[in-house]
């Protein structure tokens, strides 16, 4: 047997091991990227559910009470603005995520003003449809929180994987993804005025 075949064989085996190892790294990064996209889809779905419920809530309130139109208009406009902002999770930037978050924050703010306005209408508060919608909205807000938390967890997992050495040597096409952060001023309590 020729002695030069042994080093060539070792080199071929090493190249094969490195190739399969890098393929494994890329496949895992792809799976983690898809998990982030899936979680973003869950965030979008919960916001869509809230927007659908808001339409029903507005119609219920409109039919049961004759109160200031400004609040009702603000809710409708905030909902329209929130549904107009879309994000591609595979190319999301921190700026896009902040814009999306800002639009959704506008919905939350106008919705809380609507619910405070309703306090002035005892017959509406007792309406079964309204009470059911209020419960659904509260449940949806909890789902939004859960979806955003899971999105951030999947982003953390993805970022930790693609930024770690030696993975980042093989994953130059995979960029760090931004987290879903609270809107500036969200730490302050909502001011309610009657």
Query: What pLDDT, in 10s, does the model give residues 65-92?
Result: 555 555 656 666 776 666 666 777 777 7
Residue 168 domain-assigned (yes or no): yes
Cα 13 to Cα 99: distance, rounded to the nearest angstrom? 50
Is the whole model's pTM more than 0.85, yes or no? no
Identify the CATH number of the domain in which residue 131 sits: 1.20.1440.20
User: Mean pLDDT across the stretch 8-27?
Assistant: 91
Percent of the chain with pLDDT over 90: 10
By the 8 A CB rule, do 38 and 73 touch? no
Asked whether residue 80 is assigned to any structural domain, the reply reads yes
58: Cβ contacts below 8 Å, ≥ 6 apart: 72, 75, 76, 114
The string of pLDDT tens digits covering residues 138-191 is 888 888 888 888 988 999 999 999 998 888 888 888 888 888 777 666 556 545
Q: Look at residue 130 and tell me if it is in a domain.
A: yes
pLDDT at 194: 38
In which domain, by residue range, is 123 found? Answer: 54-84+92-173
In a domain, 1, yes or no: no
Report yes or no: 162 and 171 within 8 Å, Cβ to Cβ.
yes
């Amino acid at each position: 047997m020729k002695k030069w075949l042994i080093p060539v064989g070792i080199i071929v085996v090493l190249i094969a091991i490195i190739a399969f190892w890098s393929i494994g790294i890329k496949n895992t990064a792809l799976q983690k990227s898809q998990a982030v996209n899936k979680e973003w889809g869950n965030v979008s779905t919960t916001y869509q559910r809230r927007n659908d419920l808001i339409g029903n809530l507005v119609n219920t309130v409109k039919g049961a009470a004759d109160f200031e139109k400004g609040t009702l208009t603000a809710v409708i406009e905030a909902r329209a603005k929130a549904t107009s902002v879309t994000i591609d999770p595979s190319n999301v930037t921190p700026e896009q995520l902040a814009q999306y978050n800002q639009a959704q924050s506008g919905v939350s703010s106008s919705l809380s003003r609507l619910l405070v306005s309703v306090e002035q209408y005892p017959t509406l508060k007792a309406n079964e449809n309204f009470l059911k919608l209020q419960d659904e909205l509260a449940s949806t807000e909890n789902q939004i929180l859960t979806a955003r938390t899971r999105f951030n967890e999947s982003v953390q997992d993805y970022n930790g994987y693609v930024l770690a050495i030696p993975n980042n040597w093989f994953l130059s096409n995979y960029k760090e993804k931004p987290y879903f952060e609270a809107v500036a001023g969200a730490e302050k309590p909502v001011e309610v005025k009657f």
